[in-house]
């Protein structure tokens, strides 16, 4: 497929004009950023892996009735997606204490939360994506009460499904980010899942060793980012590893010299 006009370039993806009205081509880059783009770098092959993982996750979510913008994967780095109006809210679901919530509330990393916590952040890098309440969303009309009901309902269903999916491959879903958009049909619109779901926006820990299999390896200068992303894809059955057959789980303990620096999860 020939390259179309570039419409938008973000930190991890580029959006191009799609082949048909109402569609876009979503291109996954190898660029890595952290701390609201204050730290920048590259993870070799990240775009290819994230494309495959996000395709897999979005396809499985559609099978349980979650509407998404994903149509199909075009090639190693590109997807065809529906064009939506992105709602300017990042939805973060937390199952275990990690990241910013530890700093804000003085929690110990790895501490299980009493129940899944949903947080909302206003999408604006220049402001540092500040934490907001539903009252802010209603006050500034970023989303209607009906849209927020759909968003929270879908977010909980997605979390329940993904927790089970990752647990089946010995990965603990610590927390993750979702974005939603409005899909218009004339004057009517509905909220659907957009963006991506990949190790870029999820905290994923090996359930046995506690190894981090996500972008925290980049944030914390731990190294082994490429291997960690590939390990998630392998366990999902999207890649075949030279050391394992289809369906087998790679033993991370043999790769500690490369995936280094993470203590075991406290039981």
pLDDT band at 158 (very low <50, low <70, confident <90, very high): very high
- Say if 188 falls within a structural domain: no
Q: Is residue 87 part of a domain?
A: no
Domain for residue 52, yes or no?
yes
Assigned domain for 38 exists: yes
Confidence of residue 39 (pLDDT cuts 50, 70, 90): confident
Per-residue confidence (pLDDT) for residue 245, from 0 to 100: 36
38: domain CATH number is 3.30.200.20
Q: Is residue 176 part of a domain?
A: no
What percent of the chain is predicted at pLDDT more than 70? 88
Q: Which pLDDT score is estimated for 35?
A: 81
Mean pLDDT confidence for 154-159 = 98
What global pTM score does this model have? 0.88
Domain count for the chain: 1
So what's the pLDDT on residue 265?
40
Residue 70 reports pLDDT greater than 60: yes
Residues 160-201: tens digit of each pLDDT = 999 999 999 999 999 999 999 999 988 899 999 999 999 999
The predicted pLDDT at position 3 comes to 58
224 in a structural domain: no
As a whole number of angstroms, the distance between CA 94 and CA 237 comes to 25
Domain coverage including residue 25:
6-82
Q: Is residue 261 part of a domain?
A: no
pLDDT of residue 76: 97
Q: Please provide the distance, in angstroms rounded to a whole number, between the alpha carbons at the two ends of the chain.
A: 50
Could you tell me if residue 187 is inside a domain? no
């Amino acid at each position: 497929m020939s390259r179309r006009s570039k419409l938008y370039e973000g930190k991890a993806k580029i959006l191009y004009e799609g082949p048909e009205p109402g569609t876009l081509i979503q291109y996954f880059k190898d660029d890595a950023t952290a701390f609201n783009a204050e730290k920048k770098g590259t993870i070799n092959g990240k775009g290819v892996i994230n494309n495959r993982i996000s395709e897999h996750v979005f396809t499985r979510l559609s099978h349980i009735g979650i509407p998404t913008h994903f149509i199909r994967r075009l090639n190693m780095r590109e997807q065809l997606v529906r064009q939506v109006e992105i709602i300017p809210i990042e939805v973060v679901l937390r199952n275990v204490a990690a990241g910013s919530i530890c700093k804000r509330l003085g929690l110990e990393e790895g501490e299980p939360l009493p129940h899944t916590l949903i947080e909302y952040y206003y999408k604006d890098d220049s402001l540092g994506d500040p934490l907001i309440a539903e009252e802010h969303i209603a006050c500034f009309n970023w989303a209607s009460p009906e849209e927020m009901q759909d968003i929270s309902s879908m977010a909980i269903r997605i979390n329940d499904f993904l927790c089970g999916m990752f647990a089946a491959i010995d990965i603990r879903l610590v927390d993750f980010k979702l974005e939603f958009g409005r899909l218009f049909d004339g004057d009517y619109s509905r909220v659907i899942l957009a963006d991506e779901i990949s190790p870029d926006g999820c905290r994923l820990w090996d359930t046995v060793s506690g190894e981090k299999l996500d972008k925290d390896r980049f944030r914390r200068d731990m190294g082994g980012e490429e291997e960690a992303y590939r390990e998630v894809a392998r366990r999902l059955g999207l890649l075949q590893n030279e050391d394992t057959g289809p369906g087998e789980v790679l033993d991370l303990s043999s790769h500690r010299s490369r995936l280094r620096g993470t203590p075991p999860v406290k039981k």
